[in-house]
Amino acid sequence: MKNNIKAIIGLGNPGSQYVFTRHNIGFRVVEALAESWGAQWLQKENMILAETTCNGLKILLIKPQTYMNNSGRVMNYLHKQGIKAENTLVVHDELEKPFGSLIIKQGGSHKGHNGLKSIISVTGLEFWHLRFGIGRPEHKEEVPLYVLANFKEPQLDVETLISKAVEMITQLLSENAQ
Phi and psi at residue 95, to the nearest 5° = -65, -30
| pLDDT surpasses 90 at 71 | yes
Judge whether 47 and 14 are in contact, CB under 8 Å: no
Number of domains making up the chain: 1
- Whole-number percent of the chain with pLDDT over 70: 98
Interatomic CA distance for residues 48 and 50, integer angstroms: 7
| pLDDT surpasses 80 at 153 | no
User: Of 176, 175, 174, 166, which is closest to residue 25 (Cα–Cα)?
Assistant: 166
Cα angle for residues 94, 77, 165 (degrees, 5° grid): 30
Query: Which residue range is the domain that position 96 belongs to?
Result: 7-177
State residue 67's pLDDT score. 94
* Residue 1 belongs to a domain: no
pTM of the predicted model as reported, rounded to 2 decimal places: 0.95
User: Would you name the residues annotated as active-site residues?
Assistant: 23
| pLDDT surpasses 80 at 142 | yes
pLDDT bracket for residue 87 (50, 70, 90): very high
* Residue 157 belongs to a domain: yes
CA distances to 47, 110, 123, 133, 167 from 176, in Å: 25, 26, 22, 25, 15
pLDDT bracket for residue 123 (50, 70, 90): very high
| pLDDT surpasses 70 at 1 | no
State residue 177's pLDDT score. 66
State residue 48's pLDDT score. 97
- Spatial neighbors of 149 by CB under 8 A, at least 6 apart, are 21, 22
- What CATH number is attached to the domain comprising 154? 3.40.50.1470
* Residue 2 belongs to a domain: no
